[in-house]
Structure 1
Amino acid sequence: MAIRIRLMRMGAKKRPFYRVVAANSEAPRDGKFFEILGYYNPLKDPYEFKIDPQKLKKWLDLGAEPTDTVRSLLKKSGILKEIKETATN
């Protein structure tokens, strides 16, 4: 069982809002998940992306892999860099 950190679509039709969740890679996109880590709102200008760094670090330490989209959002927000620097210190 591989764990992925990925987006889960919420919101109304044509008004997307996403939760960042830790989920089994075989589960459906909007199916079961282990924990909510944060959210992403692409409709705001600029987009809104909030994530709990402690929860993220916990799941990364357990071997969870972020999807390409989540990894890109983490890099843009600088959170991934902070976590890596904390891990090396």
Structure 2
Amino acid sequence: MAARAEKPVTVTLGPLTRAAQDCVTSGRYASVSDVVRAGLRALDREEALLDELLKARVAEAPADTRAAQSADDVRAQLAARHARRTGKSA
């Protein structure tokens, strides 16, 4: 099967434009397109690692001997944690 020519894609980077251009200016990348491709490859690696982590956690779950918590208890704990982190009362 012959390789298809890829169509150009226009991407608006917004505030990330400067960071992408700085990568090119520094000589680390030849073009902004190279920067975007590297970013997408890094995203693929990150998502693959997260998938592996989640699969491992799911596989470990049946062996967890801790007592189950009610949804209300979990919500209360999350609300308290959020309040501590944001400085707002729960």
TM over 0.5: no
TM-score with structure 2 setting the length = 0.19
Structure of greater relative contact order (alpha carbons < 8 Å, 6+ residues apart): 1
Larger radius of gyration between Structure 1 and Structure 2:
2
TM-score with structure 1 setting the length = 0.19
